[in-house]
Amino acid sequence: MAGSVLLTNIEVPGIRDFAVYRAHGGYQAVEKALRSMTPSDVSAEVTRSGLRGRGGAGFPTGLKWSFLDKRSDKPRYLVCNADESEPGTFKDRYLMQHLPHRLIEGLIISAYALGAGTCYIYIRGEFKYLVGILEKAINETHRNGFLGSDILGSGFSLNIFVHPGAGAYICGEETALLESLEGKRGNPRIKPPFPAFRGLYGCPTVVNNVETLAAVGPIISMGGDAYARIGKGRSTGTKLISACGNINKPGVYEIEMGLPVEEFIYGDRYCGGIRNGKYLKAVIPGGSSVPILPADLILSTAKGEPRLMTYESLAEGDFATGSMLGSGGFIVFDEDACIVRNTWNLTRFYRHESCGQCSPCREGTAWMEKILYRIEHGGGTLKDIDLLVRIARNIEGNTICPLGDAAAWPVASAIRHFRQEFEEHVTDPGKCRNQRTN
């Protein structure tokens, strides 16, 4: 089952072309939905499938769709979040590059379910080469009658447009994305109101991740119940995991949820073990924003059970001993990696990407970066370590958008699990081979 829901037929030569995709069963899900199902039937299937948002938060997609303001007579929008900028995450790019029609098929069915007549794919500006691929696929789909007005004689009309960003991680946050799509700075909005009520141009809007929307086609084809039987518990279906770092086989893998983490890291079908026969030191399992876990805690939970690739298992033990599945950006560190250096590096990322609207995030990330720089370069004190913990705690939960939390968690978790390494960088600078002491 693994590897055969979202990425089915990815190996077929020419699958990027409409004709080839169609010849391999493509757009049959659209036909099924538009010819034999009402929009609420489609939503009900998605709810039954148990599909959860693949952008990071794991919020149930069916439930999110049900919030869409039904009393409003304004136009509705579907926005596909293809901003993919979370360090360690490169799965949406892979999907769009190789299987653009899987996404477009999902967009058509989702927009039908939501009653949206326009869909924008907001793609990060750096992926400019994908814009051509997506637009070509959209045009082909249009020519073949699956987009435009009165699709398949159903009375449903849809246009899809690709909209490039211009370099800003924060525009992946859904309300910043909407601001950016309106031509403004990517400053997240205060919620509520949520996009379901006041989204793009103040109209009811659903924002979903690329992978989430791409899963809708297969769900309609196989039925929500069948999809829900894949995976484990409330983590239904398959998930794309982008694996990187010190492993033998970095890349994008479609796994059935529930796969043991150990098998994912060491199995030949997946990461193939740690590079150069080194030891596993730590993993950030869900993109740079989620807590880092040391080897023992990523392989098994604090209770001693094998850790599984599910939303629940990766979060088992909460932040004391657990982490999150997040976006599926799986970053592996071997024994030589320096946790202090990496924490400083990631904090610099968040400082750079903070939009600057809230003081705890704007000032806190800059302050943490400065302290981490000091520690990494041999000028830190033991008090600095506690200060970092305090700053992180004061950022968390006190900001407009979750970027503040995303900046606080990596620091707090690195100190929680690797405090000794931070202390050594203070007391014995130069011991760490990676440490810079200039």
Partner 1 sequence: MEGTHKISHPQFVREGKQFSFSAATMLKVRQLIARYPQGRQKSALLPVLHIAQEESGGSLTVDIMDYVADLLGLQPIEVYETATFYSMFYLEKTGKYVIEVCRTGPCSIVGGDQIRQYLREVLEIGPGETTPDGLFTLREVECLGSCGTGPVMQVNTRFFENLTPRRVDQILEELREYANKNNPDDIRWQDQFC
Maximum pairwise Cα distance, the chain: 73
Helix axes 403-427, 339-353, angle to 10 degrees: 150
Q: Residue 166 binds which entry of ligand FMN, partner 1, ligand SF4, none, with Cβ cut-offs from 5 to 8 Å by kind?
A: partner 1
* Closest to ligand SF4 by CB, 235 or 399: 399
344 binds partner 1 (CB under 8 A): yes
Q: Which range of residues in 2-10, 125-133, 259-267, 357-365 is near ligand SF4 by CB under 6 A?
A: 357-365
In this chain, which of 26, 53, 100, 165 binds partner 1, going by CB under 8 A? 165
In this chain, which of 24, 142, 275, 362 binds ligand SF4, going by CB under 6 A? 362
Radius of gyration of the chain from its Cα atoms, rounded to whole angstroms: 22
User: What sign for the dihedral angle of Cα 346, 352, 357, 358?
Assistant: positive
* Closest to ligand SF4 by CB, 218 or 364: 364
For residue 428 the two structure tokens come to 């014995």
How many angstroms separate the Cα of 160 from the Cα of each of 34, 78, 136, 139, 229? 17, 9, 12, 9, 32
85 binds partner 1 (CB under 8 A): yes
Nearby residues of 416 by Cβ (< 8 Å), 6 or more positions away: 291, 319, 320
399 binds ligand SF4 (CB under 6 A): yes
SS3 47: helix
Q: How far is the CB of 167 from partner 1 (least distance, A)?
A: 3
Q: Residue 243 binds which entry of ligand FMN, ligand SF4, partner 1, none, with Cβ cut-offs from 5 to 8 Å by kind?
A: partner 1
Name the strand (E) or helix (H) holding 255.
strand 251-256
* Closest to partner 1 by CB, 51 or 282: 282
User: Which residue(s) pair with 60 in the sheet?
Assistant: 52
CA distance linking residue 27 with residue 142, whole number of Å: 12
Sheet holding 77-82, edge to edge: 159-164, 118-123, 77-82, 205-209
In this chain, which of 361, 388, 411, 432 binds ligand SF4, going by CB under 6 A? 361
How many angstroms separate the Cα of 265 from the Cα of each of 45, 149, 239? 33, 47, 15
60 binds partner 1 (CB under 8 A): no
358 binds ligand SF4 (CB under 6 A): yes
In this chain, which of 401, 411, 426, 432 binds ligand FMN, going by CB under 6 A? 401
Site pattern 167..206 for ligand FMN (x: CB under 6 A) = ---x-xxx--------------------------------
130, 126, 132: which is closest to 166 by C-alpha?
126
Q: How far is the CB of 179 from ligand SF4 (least distance, A)?
A: 11
42 binds ligand SF4 (CB under 6 A): no
* Closest to partner 1 by CB, 67 or 161: 161
Site for ligand FMN in 38-57 (CB under 6 A): 53-57
Angle 310-313-318 from CA coordinates, rounded to 5°:
125
Nearby residues of 66 by Cβ (< 8 Å), 6 or more positions away: 43, 47
392 binds ligand SF4 (CB under 6 A): no
Nearby residues of 216 by Cβ (< 8 Å), 6 or more positions away: 29, 46, 51, 105, 106, 109, 110
Chain contacts with ligand SF4 (rule: CB under 6 A): 170, 188, 354-358, 361-362, 399-401, 403-404
Chain contacts with partner 1 (rule: CB under 8 A): 75, 84-90, 93, 97, 124-130, 132-133, 159, 161, 163-169, 180-186, 201, 242-246, 250-252, 288, 329, 331, 333, 337, 341-342, 344-346, 348-349, 352-353, 355, 366, 369-370, 373, 376-377
